[in-house]
Amino acid sequence: MLLRRGWTWLQDKITSKARNFILRILAAGPIPKHVAFVMDGNRRYARMNHKAIQQGHSDGFIALRRMLEVCLRLNVKCVSAYAFSIENFKRSEEEVSALMSLAEEKLRELCEHGDLLDEYGVRLNVVGNTKLLPESVQNAVQKAEGMTRHNERAIFNLCMPYTSRDEMTSAVESCVRNTMSQGLEDLVITEKDIDNQLMTSLGGSPPPDILVRTSGVKRLSDFLLWQCCEDTQLQFSTTFWPDFGLFDFIPIILDYQRKTWNRRISV
């Protein structure tokens, strides 16, 4: 038993050192400022591994922490994760309730043990129509956001409950209110006005350089549609989100670096 534990510890050490070495090499090349994840495949992962759906979502949160740390070690300045769509409220009451409980639990854990965000100086923004969340989750959101407000090195956008249509509608409504409050007779709203009122813009996020969707599904599912309209590189991985890790991410970063170098050469 002791020998087995010792071997496991050695494997973990070797893996950690290898990971850090790989990340240092990758960080020497061009690094995206903003990486966004559509964390897809939790339920299919659970079914394939004979686990409860709730456990699939719980394992998905572990993967989120893992990938957040990878991105922060690469000096990515902004990470966005699609945690819960407004459309997900249409799922079974049992699953929605479990997801809300899990979100509240993880946010409260963050408040109690916010080591990762504090270590890397990360500010948490919960992006979405938070009024739709249960009151207890809203309280956890406010507390977690408040505790990281002083962090300025990086941004983590946890998008829940979110859809691009809702975000753009809210942005247009804000533009109208701002115009009316100024007493202007002509209502003129520009692209820049809307862009400035997007939830991600209000939180200080740059446009995404890379959007990754896992599980092999090739659609955006109403996520950051406005923000991804220009130069965002779309990457689709066949790996289910709970299994997604560094070695799934390496080809994505290398592809980004290759395309970035090619653009520099062609200019």
Residue 20's pLDDT is what? 87
Average pLDDT over all residues of the chain: 91
Residue 16, Cβ neighbours under 10 Å: how many?
10
Residue 3's pLDDT is what? 47
Residue 244's pLDDT is what? 96
> CB of 72 within 8 A of CB of 151?
no
Which tokens sit at 10? Answer: 């050695």
Terminal alpha carbon distance of the chain: 60
Amino acid at residue number 138: Q
Residue 125's pLDDT is what? 97
Which residues, in sequence order, are bridge partners of residue 6?
A: none
CA atoms within 13 A on the CB side of 85: 16
Residue 9's pLDDT is what? 52
The residue extents of the domains of the chain are 31-163+207-256
Query: The sheet that has 34-38: what strands, in order across it?
Result: 122-127, 154-159, 78-82, 34-38, 210-213, 233-236
Instruction: Please tell me the pTM assigned to this model.
Output: 0.92
Top-level CATH class of 31-163+207-256?
A: alpha beta
Residue 113's pLDDT is what? 64
Q: Which residues of the chain, if any, have pLDDT below 70?
A: 1-14, 113-114, 267
- Own/partner contacts of 106-114, CB < 8 Å, gap of 24 or more, are 106/61, 107/137, 107/140, 107/141, 107/143, 107/144, 108/140, 108/143, 108/144, 110/144, 110/147, 111/140, 111/143, 111/144, 111/147, 114/144, 114/147, 114/148
